[in-house]
Amino acid sequence: MADLFPDRIVELGTGFWRSKVLLSAVELGVFSTLAQGPLDGETLRARLGIHPRSARDFFDALVALGMLNRDRDRYANIPETDLFLDRAKPSYMGGLVEMLNFRLYGFWGSLTEALRTGQPQNEAKSGGGNLFEALYSDPARLRLFLQAMTGISLGAARAMAQKFPWKQYRTFVDIGAAQGGLPVQIALAHSHLTGGGFDLPVVGPIFEEYVASFGLADRIRFQPGDFFTDPLPQADVLVMGHILHDWDLDEKRMLLHKAHTALDSGGALIVYEAIIDDERRRNAFGLLMSLNMLIETRGGFDYTGADCAGWMREVGFRETSVVHLVGNDSMVVGIK
């Protein structure tokens, strides 16, 4: 007993304090402001328009949490916050942080109710629609969500550009492509590929604007459609990122079956997300993502690599493999 301490419990219990400091820092523009150069605390406070009382604690907490550097009284971004959280850079992935701040931070407050009832706790809580019908009825929320998807998938997309044998293929389509974050990264890394993004028609203008900002409009096309009512487009490689986890098991199987039907023999399906380790004890992020699907969807859940490979084989894929991408993300590759 004498060598037991409750510090890990305290740290985990107060974990949302850390998270909210980062979310508010992005909301207030801390990193975008410091991207223009280091500032002393008083100048930074005045630029952000925050009250003097806790400004120093807030900035120093960001230093202690490893998100800012401080040299005497001058604060500066660390390389990661400068690259990924400066709104002026194309590498900005703060859309994810903004969505966490404006939507999920509040919705996760109802986790206990979600666990008791099995019901989503987001915009769909009162209405009958699914996540996307509820989200996409408001243009600002639509854009915020699609930008958040670019943020959450950027690392996996860069890793997939390196770890999949793209040289063997010529065409690819990202199914449920959102803003187009993944097709852009793949096309930037492989100039021989042409491809597209398939998604609901309402997503088209935001996809096209993002792809055009990278000068890729001639190689990456938007393909409007609904994967419940339409066949999937044909390509050498189909990709599904954070798609299967949105839906229940029958819907997952239906989507995998449609992908198998759309591919020619030798074609590949890449499923990627925070694939849970087969023993379901290490990838905490994947397990938390599955709880996030409880908050966000009616039947969605995350799954292990073995689960996904098994479903792929059931619908006819002859070879499957699970490949780690980066951090918590892996891809499951099925070859027809």
Counting residues that bind ligand SAM (by CB under 6 A) gives: 18
Residue 303 binds ligand SAM (CB under 6 A): no
Is residue 245 among the annotated active site residues? yes
* Residue from 85, 159, 177, 263 in contact with ligand SAM (CB under 6 A): 177
- Between 118 and 137, how does the x/- string for binding to ligand SAM read (CB under 6 A)? --------------x-----
CA 46-51-52 angle, 5° bins: 80
Query: In which residue are the tokens 């023999």 written?
Result: 265
* Residue from 104, 178, 256, 262 in contact with ligand SAM (CB under 6 A): 178
Binding window for ligand SAM (CB under 6 A); candidates: 17-25, 198-206, 256-264, 300-308: 198-206
- Between 138 and 157, how does the x/- string for binding to ligand SAM read (CB under 6 A)? -----------x--xx----
* Residue from 190, 219, 242, 336 in contact with ligand SAM (CB under 6 A): 242
Instruction: Spell out where the chain has E strands.
Output: 39-40, 68-71, 74-77, 171-175, 194-199, 220-224, 237-241, 268-273, 319-326, 329-335
Residue at 239: amino acid letter: V
Residue 307 binds ligand SAM (CB under 6 A): no
Q: How far is CA 166 from CA 236, 320, 325, in A?
A: 10, 17, 15
How many Cα neighbours within 13 Å face the side chain of 136? 14
Name the token pair of 128. Answer: 């009958």
Residue 200 binds ligand SAM (CB under 6 A): yes
* Distance between CA atoms of residues 173 and 195, nearest Å: 5
* Residue from 86, 199, 302, 307 in contact with ligand SAM (CB under 6 A): 199
Among residues 51, 190, 242, 245, the one annotated as catalytic is: 245
* Distance between CA atoms of residues 90 and 76, nearest Å: 20
Binding window for ligand SAM (CB under 6 A); candidates: 46-54, 66-74, 241-249, 299-307: 241-249
Phi, psi of 165 (to 5 degrees): -75, 70
Q: Give the binding site for ligand SAM (CB under 6 A).
A: 132, 149, 152-153, 176-178, 181, 199-200, 203, 226-228, 241-243, 246
